[in-house]
Structure 1
């Protein structure tokens, strides 16, 4: 059919519109309101990790690396949302909400496919930190500013470093977004291997490039804004985005 494409064992829609994004967000909000305890629980893990990172780096005066780590933090969000996908799946199917089943969602179907994806995301975060360190070394090796001085951002070199770092970070984030946005909810929903799930996710982004790029921007911007007040906005934003991603997946995979 014109609006569908066969990818491995999965049929993928290729006619997404921004109306689908609005519908996914509305459904995500409904899931969060119906089952807030799960969303708040998973968000609290993310918020606690963020606050721990913030106070640790701030106490050491490493302001620059606080920015770098915060910029890469959203790379880990998809794995955090696996439990939220399971909540949405169970609510959609009319299944009882059991903590054991929701917390065990990261184990997948006992084949460690989702855990492998989690390891890939951790590698992505580590890779981003390495890239950021390399960019800093290139731009600031000849600078007279201290390695963590806020004044470096006011210099021409510092601004150039921020621009290059932002572009590099955006490219890395979009690459890993492309391989996880559909693959993780797909692994929660179906008995597939992670390679097939990644292929389906990439095919979805390729077939709906504009809409999926808009969704990536929505995720990035809302997560960034939510992290500003000491990560506290994530208590709402993270669960809603997680549930919404599940519903977008359900629209994508026929």
Structure 2
């Protein structure tokens, strides 16, 4: 349990108004935290990069799986960023940093609410994988379910381009819905004693109260993550820690005790 949590005093939590200036401010804070504790950022990002490389290898030569994983893989990034939230929390509170301490907090979360949020993310990812394959079969034909063509040229026609655009469109919608559920809820669950349903409700509320700013934040995350994925996922070693730390600071600005 985070030391900032106080189960005996449960203040009502309100949603603050955000501006685009806040996005620049939290990115600067994220960069500052990464510079203060680079080893932790590289460690947690390294786990994500290794997982990405393994999935890329599993999907090598399989275009349909590569497309599905490329769209779905970023959905699990928020859960992997919990360690970065804890590092930022400790830096903010002036608490000492140590791997045993940070990893211990993450381990202790297994008995709290974050695993439930993680289960939602996993189920969401599995549903996206199923939906993506059904969409593929609907456009490309039922035979695609048993033997999808892996020749890239197969997708450079009317049907193929329609399928790619449909996958991208639905993938973006799926990603934004999950973003709305988790952008604020995961750092909130780390910081305070609330149930995951309440945390997700507040997260969606923050997105509804600040639609333009939060959409901008989602697009910024998507754009930077996509650029970082290009060089064999290696760009994530820098981008993911900065975004993870910045997400903590965005939560601190978005959710305030009433």
1:5 corresponds to which residue? Answer: none
Relative to 1, partners in 2 of residues 1:110 and 1:76: Cα closer, same or farther, differing over 3 Å?
closer
Q: CA deviation at 1:116?
A: 1.0
Q: Distance in 1 between matches of 2:193 and 2:90?
A: 16
1:20 corresponds to which residue? Answer: 22
Look up the SS of the partner of 2:59 in the other structure. helix
Look up the SS of the partner of 1:88 in the other structure. helix
Q: Distance in 2 between matches of 1:130 and 1:143?
A: 16
What does 1:99-118 align with in structure 2 at a 5 Å threshold?
Answer: 99-107=99-107, 111-118=111-118
Q: Distance in 2 between matches of 1:188 and 1:62?
A: 38
CA contact (8 A) 1:178 1:205 kept: yes
Q: Distance in 2 between matches of 1:46 and 1:110?
A: 19
Q: Distance in 1 between matches of 2:229 and 2:106?
A: 24
Relative to 1, partners in 2 of residues 1:119 and 1:218: Cα closer, same or farther, differing over 3 Å?
same
Q: CA deviation at 1:12?
A: 1.1
Q: CA deviation at 1:9?
A: 2.4
Q: CA deviation at 1:127?
A: 1.0
CA contact (8 A) 1:183 1:194 kept: yes
What does 1:115-134 align with in structure 2 at a 5 Å threshold?
Answer: 115-134=115-134
Q: Which of residues 35, 39, 42 is equivalent to 1:40?
A: 42
Q: Distance in 2 between matches of 1:105 and 1:49?
A: 22
Q: CA deviation at 1:226?
A: 0.5
CA contact (8 A) 1:106 1:115 kept: no
Q: Distance in 1 between matches of 2:89 and 2:225?
A: 23
CA contact (8 A) 1:107 1:115 kept: no
- 1:234 matched to 2:241? The reply is no
Look up the SS of the partner of 2:111 in the other structure. coil
Q: Distance in 1 between matches of 2:190 and 2:54?
A: 29
Q: Distance in 2 between matches of 1:109 and 1:171?
A: 29
Q: Distance in 2 between matches of 1:216 and 1:141?
A: 33
TM-score normalised by structure 2 residue count: 0.90
Q: CA deviation at 1:67?
A: 2.0
Q: Cα RMSD (Å) of the superposition?
A: 1.7
Q: Distance in 1 between matches of 2:41 and 2:155?
A: 36
- 1:11 matched to 2:14? The reply is yes
Q: Distance in 2 between matches of 1:136 and 1:109?
A: 38
Deviates further, 152-161 or 76-85? 152-161
Task: Give 4+ residue runs of structure 1 displaced > 6 Å after superposition.
Answer: 142-145
Gaps of 5+ in 1: 1-7
Q: CA deviation at 1:66?
A: 1.1
Look up the SS of the partner of 1:231 in the other structure. coil
2:249 corresponds to which residue? Answer: 247
Look up the SS of the partner of 1:11 in the other structure. strand
1:4 corresponds to which residue? Answer: none
Relative to 1, partners in 2 of residues 1:218 and 1:176: Cα closer, same or farther, differing over 3 Å?
same
